[in-house]
């Protein structure tokens, strides 16, 4: 038989020494690197220190049988496990499959049976690997990236998603910076639900939305009798988030008196409810967000420098929408699909002239503003394609003012050329250089676009 498995490592777990010896000799001939274990406990120790592509495991063994071994390792390793037994029944095989086994072989078996089962398992792994690769390639071609409930296609958002994915794997403090409406809470949620605290509580707090005189008791709780009206003990939001994550949105709005107390939580991992003489230990991951420039706030003594350093362990900066206009068509499609379900509409797309207006807008409210404007347009639309009339008139007005101020002198020809060049560059940026789609956005023919690209010396 052809030897194609020189790099595959395999573990045999069987209490019968003769069976281990026979399988070891046979599988080495087929090119596998083979280790052996006499029972499930020994197998557990070996998989903790070595990665195995395949595991052949007997079911009936002393100390720890094969089913118990499967249950122990199914969430810890990604090896393909094939079970073996001389006492097998269909029920045993089904149980093994339910616990994560790939295949089941009844003893006694021929060498070809083992080899065939391993080859089928290898083919399955190869196909899974190819599918993963193809999915990644398709995402690259489409230029689409995602993290949590956020999607984008721009390179700078890809960087945000990569950094956020890394942050999700650790319990370190994270500071998210970005203008209002950029999606700071979505990133925080993605980090929490992508990490090992995902099944624990996520408690969001809008630091600017709670009156200052109530903020301390909301965050840290209070004891009965701490103040007038405190007729019972009350947990604070930090204690509610114990073992989970607390998301402190707009932390730049915190008064200085509370900044000191937040600093203590980060340093000591403990809180003191109002009216209590004792502190409580808590295990809370802190993710903070702000639309303010905290370094400037420090200069004016509005924000504590020591708290900033405690928060600024890992910083994620979300760019505003005006700096990633290539995400606008993708976001529009996403919002329209969701709104079609919510509003029972059937909007198919956005006309090129309407999309041009959206691409030119500055979006001071960022993604939140875009979502609201798309919802308004979907509600107003009477046709399956959104047109400029479905959008607020001030979008087009702002575009006209902007292009007017960008030209000098009184030459209409020069102004037209400047505007054409700018719009072509915008369309190419929004379509990742796809000239056919850019021509559709610009409402001109493909040959005409190619001519203009050459005339204006636009670099692709």
| pLDDT (tens digit per residue) in 115-138 | 888 888 888 888 877 777 776 665
C-alpha atoms less than 13 angstroms from C-alpha of 444 in its C-beta half-sphere:
17
Please tell me the predicted confidence (pLDDT) of residue 112. 80
Q: Where are the alpha helices (DSSP H) in 37-78?
A: 40-49, 66-73
- Which regions of the chain carry the CATH code 3.40.50.300? 147-319
Quick: pLDDT tens for 374-430. Answer: 999 999 999 999 999 999 988 865 544 444 445 555 565 677 777 788 888 888 888
Domain 9-134: CATH superfamily, name plus number: Response regulator (3.40.50.2300)
- Global pTM? 0.61
What residue ranges of the chain are covered by domains with CATH 1.10.8.60? 323-455
Location of each CATH 3.40.50.2300 domain in the chain: 9-134
247 SS3 class: strand
Residues 82-106: tens digit of each pLDDT: 988 877 667 777 888 888 888 888 8
| Level-2 CATH architecture, domain 323-455 | Orthogonal Bundle (1.10)
Count other C-beta atoms under 10 Å from residue 403's C-beta: 15
Measured over the CA atoms of residue 282, residue 285, residue 289 and residue 294, the dihedral's sign is positive
Cβ atoms of 68 and 43 closer than 8 Å? no
- Residue 282 scores a pLDDT above 60: yes
Q: What is the pLDDT of residue 413?
A: 67
Q: Which CATH number fits domain 147-319: 1.10.3370.10, 3.30.200.20, 3.40.50.300, 3.40.50.1220?
A: 3.40.50.300
CA distance 368 to 347: 20
What pairs with residue 9 in β-bridges?
33
Residue 400 pLDDT: 43
- The larger pLDDT score, comparing residue 12 to residue 459, is at 12
Residues 59/66, Cβ–Cβ less than 8 Å? yes
C-alpha span between 213 and 222 (Å, rounded): 13
């Amino acid at each position: 038989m052809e030897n194609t498995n020189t790099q595959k490592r395999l573990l045999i777990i069987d209490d019968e020494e003769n069976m281990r010896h026979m399988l070891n000799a046979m599988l080495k001939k087929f090119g596998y690197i083979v280790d052996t274990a006499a029972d499930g406990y020994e197998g557990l120790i070996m998989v903790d220190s070595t990665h195995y592509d395949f595991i052949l495991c007997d079911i009936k063994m002393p100390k720890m049988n094969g089913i118990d071994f499967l249950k122990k390792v199914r969430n810890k390793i990604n090896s393909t496990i094939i079970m073996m037994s001389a006492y097998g029944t269909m029920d045993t095989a089904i149980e093994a499959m339910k616990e994560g086994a790939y295949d089941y072989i009844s003893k006694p078996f021929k060498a070809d049976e083992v080899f065939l089962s391993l080859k089928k398992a290898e083919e399955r792994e190869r196909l899974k690997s190819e599918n993963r690769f193809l999915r990644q390639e398709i995402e690259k071609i489409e230029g689409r990236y995602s993290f949590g409930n956020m999607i984008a296609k721009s390179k700078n958002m890809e960087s945000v998603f990569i950094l956020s994915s890394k942050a999700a794997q650790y319990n370190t403090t994270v500071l998210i910076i970005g203008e209002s409406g950029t999606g700071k809470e979505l990133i925080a949620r993605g980090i929490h639900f992508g990490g090992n605290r995902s099944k624990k509580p996520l408690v969001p707090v809008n630091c600017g939305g709670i009156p200052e005189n109530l903020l301390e008791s909301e965050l840290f709780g209070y004891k009965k009798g701490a103040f007038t009206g405190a007729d019972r003990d009350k947990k604070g939001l930090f204690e509610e988030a114990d073992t989970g994550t607390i998301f402190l949105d707009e932390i730049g709005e915190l008064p200085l008196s509370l900044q000191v107390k937040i600093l203590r939580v980060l340093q000591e991992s403990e809180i003191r409810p109002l009216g209590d003489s004792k502190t409580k230990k808590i295990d809370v991951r802190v993710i903070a967000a702000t639309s303010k420039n905290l370094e400037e706030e420090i200069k004016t003594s509005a924000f504590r420098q020591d708290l900033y350093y405690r928060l600024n362990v890992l910083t994620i900066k979300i760019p505003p929408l005006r700096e990633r206009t290539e995400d606008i068509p993708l976001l529009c499609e996403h919002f329209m699909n969701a709104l079609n379900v919510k509003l029972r509409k059937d909007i198919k797309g956005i006309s090129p002239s309407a999309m041009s207006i959206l691409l030119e807008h500055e979006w001071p409210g960022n993604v939140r503003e875009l979502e609201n404007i798309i919802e308004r347009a979907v509600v107003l639309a009477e046709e399956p394609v959104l047109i400029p009339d479905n959008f607020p008139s001030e979008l087009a007005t702002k575009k006209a003012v902007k292009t007017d101020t960008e030209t000098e002198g009184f030459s209409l020809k020069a102004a037209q050329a400047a505007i054409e060049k700018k719009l072509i560059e915008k369309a190419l940026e929004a379509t990742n250089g796809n000239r056919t789609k850019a021509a559709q956005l610009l409402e001109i023919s493909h040959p005409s676009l190619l001519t203009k690209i050459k005339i204006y010396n636009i670099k692709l």
